[in-house]
Amino acid sequence: MLLVLMAVMVLTGIGVPSYRTLAADREEARFFEMLLHDIYFAQSETYRTQASAMVVFRESGGTYEVVQNFQALMPPRKLPETVRLKKTSNLNGVYFTANGSVTSAGTLRFETSRGEKVLVVHLGKGRVVLSE
C-alpha cells in the first residue's frame, strides 16, 4: 500500500510541473497568434474604412487594444501572466495610415517564459514578423 502511494506521489510530482510549463507555452502561442490576427484586422479595417487604426499596448494594465478614431474596435485583450512588453522596445504599438501602411517601423520586444520574442514592424506595406 505504501509503495503504491509513493508511486502516485512521484508521478504527480513529475507530471504537474511539466503540465504547467506546457500550459504556459500553449497560452503564449495562442496569445501571439491572436496578436498577429488583431494586427492584421486593424490593417484590414484601414482598407475598409479609409481611416487610420492602431494596436496600442497599455503598460499599466498589461493589455492591448485595437483603436480607430479614438474608439475601440474590440474589447482590450489581456497579456498572459508569463508575457510582458519590455522597456527596450522602440514602439508601444502598431499604427496604420488610411491606406494600410505603417507610420513607423521598429520592434516590440516581449519577455516570455521561454525567452525573448520580437515583433518586427517593417515600413511600406505594413508587414509584421514575429521571431524568437
CATH number of domain containing 37:
3.55.40.10
Bridge-based pairing of strands 77-78 and 84-85 is unpaired
Indicate whether 9 pLDDT > 80. Answer: no
Distance, CA of 57 to CA of 66 (rounded, Å): 9
What confidence tens digit (pLDDT) does each residue in 29-66 have? 999 999 999 999 999 999 999 999 999 998 887 899 99
Question: How far is residue 80's CA from residue 20's CA, in Å, rounded to a whole number?
Answer: 14
Report the number of distinct structural domains present in the chain: 1
**What residues make up the domain containing 57?**
2-131
90-123: pLDDT as tens digits: 988 999 998 888 988 899 999 998 899 999 999 8
Report d(CA 33, CA 4) in Å as an integer: 43
Query: Is the per-residue pLDDT at 16 higher than 70?
Result: no
Confidence of residue 22 (pLDDT cuts 50, 70, 90): confident
